[in-house]
Structure formats: structure tokens, C-alpha cells
Amino acid sequence: MKDFKGRTAVITGGGSGFGREFARIAAGLDMNVVIADVQQDALETVRTELEAGGARVLARQVDVSSGDQVDALAVATEARFGAVHLVFNNAGVGSGGLIWENTLRDWDWVMGVNVWGVIHGLRAFVPRMLASAKGDAGYTGYIVNTASMAGLLNAPNMGIYNVSKHAVVSMTETLHQDLKLVDAPIGSSVLCPYFVPTGISDSHRNAPVDVSGEPVSASKRAQQMMSQKAVGSGKVTAADFAATVFEAIRDEQFYVFSHPHALGNVETRMKDIVQMHNPSDPFAARPDVRTKLRDAMAEVVAQVAGTGNV
């Protein structure tokens, strides 16, 4: 996809992080910009900023785990701007902890946003994009799904997040092949960022009450502490990565990484699979990280014991 001017981009998770930066770039390219987010105040802040710069914006509060709400977003987008050309299934949340300690509501929430959010986005927009292509010989479209390096690796104490992001990678690879099968003029990319400051480590702020009100395990609290430090110290910014993503769209590059040097860990995992080895130690090069994680878990346990909270 080379031509952006006057075309329409839909961005879920558009109120912060990557979504906000995608919206800024799209507006700068003179696109019609549709931003959706579950957090109304963040959504309004981005809408106000873009409109102040002269952009054409449609902003809607949407919970992407709801198929009906994503369908309504697609209907509203067509009513306002007509054909959709670029879709970012970007909304996502993070959650960690030992995999057997995640509650059913943890699973429902993370899978609802990270996996079902992408499913709903594909189901709502791809048929409309294909219909637009049938009616316009010059139509080109593009779909970008945000996964993570956690979609290619399996770090401990992050099981629920790993599972969700592996699903997004698989879904997008299949999407790529399906679009090729039907000769659709629609490209696709899967984003696999590593530690980039986006606010995802604080995504519990938008968790449903029945998730945020549950007792939090020591392993989940420890992972949140570790993630906040790792993500917060990231040197690649959301704006940097967003620029990389738009270059990938222009070049029709499928896999997009914020930290390509981390692919060595992916190579190790693939070799383990092909050579039928047990999974390699993810802390082999940085045993201090394992120690910090264990210490963080012990610290949380001690804090809870000291306060009498559970």
C-alpha cells in the first residue's frame, strides 16, 4: 500500500501508545482517521489533538471484546467516510502471573481484548474491504494486527499474555495466506514489539470491575512490577515504532519488529522445536532476571503477609 492521502484508517486502541502514534501519522498523511478506545478521556484527548491539526476524525468508545460494538464501529465508519483502506487491530491488554494462578476472569478479559478483539476486527472489516475492491478496480487495502514478541516466545510468568499473542501471530499468518488464496488486493502485517513504553503494563486500569476487584496473586503483582520497569526503560519509543510500521506497510513487509536483535531468541526456540529439544532456559544469558523475578515474588508475599491482605 503506497497511497494514503484521502483514504480511511481505522485504529483500535487509538487513545494511547501505538494507536495514538498510528493516528498521528495517518492524520499527517491526510487520511480520514477513525479512532476507537475503551477509555473515553484518552480517546477525546487524541480526537481534540488531531482535529486541532485539521484532521478528519471519527472517535468512538468501543470495547473490542464485543462483536456488536466492533460491528457498530464498522457501520459508523462507512457512514462517515465510505470505504475503509487501512485497519489497525491494535487494542490490547497485558496480564501476567503463574499460569495456574490466572483466574477465569483473567482469561476472559485478556483473550476477549487481545484475541477476540482481532477476530471481531477481521470479521467486521475484511468483508467490507473485499466488497470495496469488487466495486473499485484501483482499490488497495491493508490490515495490521498488533501481536508481540510474546507471540513468538514463551517467557515464564506471562502465560496468559503469551497465549493471546501467539493466537494473533497465527491468525495474521493465516489471514495473509487466505487473502493470497482469493487474490485480494489487501496486504497484511503482524507487529511484534518488544519493550516499548506504551502504557500496556498499566492496562489493568481499564480492567472490568470483576477482574480489577479480584485478589491479585503474588506472581501477577511481581510480573506487573517487572513489566513496568522493563517497558518503562525501553529506548525505542511508540512514535519510533509507529514510523517503522508505516514503512512496513509501504513495503508490504509482513513481520515487523521493534527490536530485531531479539530474533536470536526466536531462532533458539525454533531450533528446539525442529531438533526436538526441551525448551531452552529463557534466562540463560541473563540469570539475574530470574533472580529479580523470584525476589519480586518473595517481596510481594512478604508485603501481603505484613498487611494481612490476600
* pLDDT tens for each residue of 256-303: 999 999 899 999 999 999 999 999 999 888 888 888 888 888 887 777
Q: Provide, rounded to the nearest whole percent, the portion of the chain with pLDDT above 90.
A: 75
Q: One of 142, 161, 194, 255 is an active-site residue; which one?
A: 161
Average pLDDT, integer, range 110-139: 97
Average pLDDT, integer, range 129-144: 97
194 is catalytic: no
Higher pLDDT, 310 or 81: 81
Is the pLDDT at 307 greater than 60? The verdict is: no
Per-residue pLDDT tens over the stretch 207-222 = 665 665 667 788 888 8
| Cα 209 to chain centroid, rounded | 22
The answer to whether 32 and 6 are in contact (CB under 8 A) is yes
Higher pLDDT, 134 or 199: 134
The answer to whether 169 and 152 are in contact (CB under 8 A) is yes
What are the structural domains, with CATH classification, of the chain?
Answer: 8-307 (3.40.50.720)
Phi/psi for 280 (5° steps) reads -70, 155
pTM, two decimal places: 0.91
Q: Provide, rounded to the nearest whole percent, the portion of the chain with pLDDT above 70.
A: 91
Average pLDDT, integer, range 11-35: 97
Which residues have C-beta within 8 Å of that of residue 24, sequence separation ≥ 6? 49, 50, 239, 242
Average pLDDT, integer, range 174-198: 94
At 310, is the pLDDT very low, low, confident or very high (cuts 50, 70, 90)?
very low
Is the pLDDT at 227 greater than 80? The verdict is: no
The answer to whether 8 and 85 are in contact (CB under 8 A) is yes
**Sheet with strand 32-37: strands edge to edge:** 56-61, 32-37, 8-12, 86-89, 141-146, 186-192, 255-257
Taken as a whole, the chain contains a residue count of 310
Is the pLDDT at 64 greater than 80? The verdict is: yes
